[in-house]
Every structure is written in C-alpha cells, then in structure tokens.
Amino acid sequence: MRFPSSVHSVITVLLLLFLTSPALAENLEPLGLQDAQLLPKNHAEFRIGLAYYDGLHNLFQEQDKNRRLAELPSLTLNLGLGERVECQLLYSYLHLREDNQDDKWDSGDLTIGLKVRLWQESLRIPALAVRLATKLPNADDKNDFGTDEADTFIDLLASRNFPLFSTYLNLGLAILGDPRANTSGQDDAFRYALGIRAPLMNNRLAGLLSIEGMEGDDSINSRSAMRAGLQLPLGDWLWDLGGSVGLTSKSEDWSLRSGLTIPFNLSANW
C-alpha cells in the first residue's frame, strides 16, 4: 500500500521532532552511570536508599580483610540550577564489618558534583555533558571507612536515545588522594562506564545493565563490575532495585542496591 506524499511529510516531521527535541534526564539508579541529559531548571530529585557490598576493598587497601560494607542510608540530591547546569550531592552513613574486628558505624564521604551540558542530542550527535565532582575527606581512614583524602573526578558523559532503548557512555579521570606514607600523594585513574536502559512491559518497568570500572597507575585501585537493575514507577516516584558482580579481585564479590526517588520542584526564586 502506498501513502500519499503528504503523509510521508508528516511522518518525517514527527520523526525529526522526536529525535531533536530536548530529552529529560533519566534516572539511572541503581547503576553508577550518569546521563548526559540534565534536570530541567527548578526541578529536583531526592533519593533515599540502601546498599550492601560484599568483599569490596577500600581504595589503596593491600590486605584482604573480607570487607563487608553497608550504606544505611545512602542519600542523593539532584538540583536543576539552570538550563545548562545540574548540582549533585551524595552522602551515605556506613556500617562496616571485617574479619577479626567489631562491627563499626561511621560517616561516609560527601560528594559534591556539577553536571554541565555541552550539547543537546541531535540527529548525528548524542547528548554530551561534563561532570566535575569532588569527594570530601569525611570517611575515616584508620577505621577503614574511607581514605580520609579528597578525590576529584572529571567525566565526559554521552547519551543516545533510540526508539526501543537508550545507551550511555561515561569516560573520565579520577585523581585519588593517597593516604599512604612515602608515596606521591595521589593516584590518577581512568574511569569508564557503558550501559543501556530499556522500557519493559509497556513502560511499566525499565531494565538497566552496565559495565563500570576504573584503571589506575597503581593496580591496587583497579575496579570493574557488571551491574544490573530494575526500575518501577510509583506515580511520580521511582523505586529501583539492582545488584552487581565484581570482575576484578579488588571489586566487590557481589552487591545489592535499592532506593526510592522522589521528584519535587524548587522555588522560582531559587
């Protein structure tokens, strides 16, 4: 069956509008991926969750202490500050268990990030953004909750939407503060993450899958894991559940993550 040329024209225009119109930022929890799209101005999201990591080594940790770490809770706040800028705050309170040690509770690190749009998605080019983040030295090194050092992260983010799924790529540099004596004081590491998100069951669910990792000058900080998760919309809220399997010896053996994301609007005078 042949369609009149006017129908072809309408279909072409609709397709162009679909592919070139601004896309909203996707929540990619429970993965560690970042979307190159930003929250709209004066829009915000708050996520409260929990996580458990079995066998996850601390950064710069040489001895295997069978480290089991829980985030109770993990908190994330994303704020759309402008047309091209999004602010991110991440914090967790930690429970730590290691062989031959008593259970311990203490503060995790606070990470402050800014995501800046470089390019809106078009027919030929994916959405592009840069993310700048600093991890403050809140977590105690002596008790093995963290490194008690500041870390800096610079990542290039790319996102591409297709009719049936969306793809994401994060590439960047991590400048890790080294708490060990008689060292250069830092380890520069290459960070990467590649993932996909696809709607399921007529958009009643979404499935996510990624490979994420880090390769440093010092192999002690090399990490790699495969992560997978599901998202279930609950009205305007979003519940996520997922886990991971470590692919290198210093990564977690396995992990579980879950959380609830609540969107809200900021004041117009923000």
Mean pLDDT of the chain: 90
Predicted pLDDT of residue 133: 98
Identify which has the larger pLDDT, 7 or 212: 212
Name all domains of the chain by residue range, CATH numbers in brackets.
5-265 (2.40.160.40)
Predicted pLDDT of residue 268: 77
Question: How many other CB atoms are found less than 10 A from the CB of residue 102?
Answer: 7
Predicted pLDDT of residue 262: 98
Residue whose tokens read 């590439």: 171
Residue whose tokens read 């268990």: 97
Whether residue 156 contacts residue 132, with contact meaning beta carbons closer than 8 Å, is answered with no
Whether residue 115 contacts residue 157, with contact meaning beta carbons closer than 8 Å, is answered with yes
Predicted pLDDT of residue 17: 39
Kindly report, residue by residue over 202-225, the tens digit of the pLDDT: 999 999 999 999 998 778 899 999
Written as six digits, the tokens of 37 are 């799209």
The one-letter amino acid code at 62 reads E
Q: How far apart are the first and last CA of the chain?
A: 55
Between the alpha carbon of residue 147 and those of residues 144, 185, 249, the distances in Å are 7, 12, 19
Predicted pLDDT of residue 63: 84
Q: Is the pLDDT of residue 18 over 70?
A: no
Predicted pLDDT of residue 2: 45
Q: Is the pLDDT of residue 37 over 80?
A: yes
33, 62, 28: which is closest to 45 by C-alpha? 28
> pTM value?
0.87
Q: Is the pLDDT of residue 11 over 60?
A: no
Phi and psi dihedrals of 77, rounded to 5? -130, 120
How confident is residue 10, by pLDDT bands cut at 50, 70 and 90?
very low
Q: Is the pLDDT of residue 86 over 50?
A: yes
Residue whose tokens read 């053996």: 253
Q: What angle do CA 133, 157, 39 make, to 5 degrees?
A: 75
How confident is residue 3, by pLDDT bands cut at 50, 70 and 90?
very low
Identify which has the larger pLDDT, 82 or 88: 88
Kindly report, residue by residue over 140-186, the tens digit of the pLDDT: 888 899 999 999 999 999 999 999 999 999 999 999 998 888 777 88
Kindly report, residue by residue over 247-270, the tens digit of the pLDDT: 999 999 999 999 999 999 998 776
Q: Is the pLDDT of residue 19 over 80?
A: no
